Amino acid sequence: MESSAIIEIRAGAGGQEAALFSADLFKMYSKYAVSQSWTEKILDSHQSELGGYKQIVFELKGEEVFSKMKNEAGVHRVQRIPKTERAGRVHTSTATVAVLAKPKTTEINIRPDQIKVDFFRSSGPGGQYVNKRETAVRITHLATGLVVTSQTERNQLQNKENALAILAARLLERKQKEEIAKMGGERKSQILAAERAEKIRTYNFPQDRVTDHRAKKKWHNIEEIMDGKIDKMVSALQKNP
């Protein structure tokens, strides 16, 4: 069954190395998407000076996208020697992945009077402006205070559409969390245990090992995994979510 998911990857602890790891995760998911014949569209991105991503938001569309990607949500930890490290020490950095279901038109309806739209010039690494025209878009949802941006496209209309897609997905997530909060007992605690603040996976480069802390499984050949060959991990989590 075809579905869509909006994936947000944010650099966590670790500065430039965390941003580089975020870029590695994005490449991993992009290559996995190609292997699944999914389509990908970047909705927003903020690059770091060394070519990593402070944040990147993208949409994946295709067969079983959400069911396969939903278990990627959480904190991903990397242990490796950064390219910027001269003493050869292993550093630990993190990146956070959020996986949002893209709502159907009937699920979330955003009216023009519910949002404030601002336009600004898009910026590249280091904050320098890369466009002379104000094509980047910032949308504020007035009732919730949620703010989303998009600056990947060259015109305002496309960036506005991208930002609205991100906002709709976040509003749906918020609505679902409110519904979960009304639940009682074990079901509620199970869902809340899978929050994005939880450390879910460790990528240990010196030991050539990826450990998933939920499936309690380990895989070797880390370079192959970072090259998008994550079927075994995805399958393990679908069987043992």
Q: Is 196 helix (H, G, I), strand (E, B) or coil?
A: coil
pLDDT tens digits, one per residue of 17-30: 999 999 999 999 99
Q: What is the pLDDT of residue 128?
A: 57
Query: Which CATH fold topology does 112-181 show?
Result: Double Stranded RNA Binding Domain (3.30.160)
Count CA atoms closer than 13 A to 107's CA, side-chain side.
15
pLDDT above 50 (res 193): no
What phi and psi, each to the nearest 5 degrees, are found at residue 229?
Answer: -90, 80
Q: What is the pLDDT of residue 191?
A: 46
CA distance 216 to 173: 27
Q: How confident is the model at residue 140 (pLDDT cuts 50, 70, 90)?
A: very high
Q: Is 200 helix (H, G, I), strand (E, B) or coil?
A: strand
pTM for this structure? 0.84
Q: How confident is the model at residue 190 (pLDDT cuts 50, 70, 90)?
A: very low
Q: What is the pLDDT of residue 175?
A: 86
Domain ranges of the chain: 2-103+193-235, 112-181
CA distance 67 to 61: 12
Q: What percent of the chain is modeled with pLDDT above 90?
A: 56
Query: Which CATH fold topology does 2-103+193-235 show?
Result: Alpha-Beta Plaits (3.30.70)
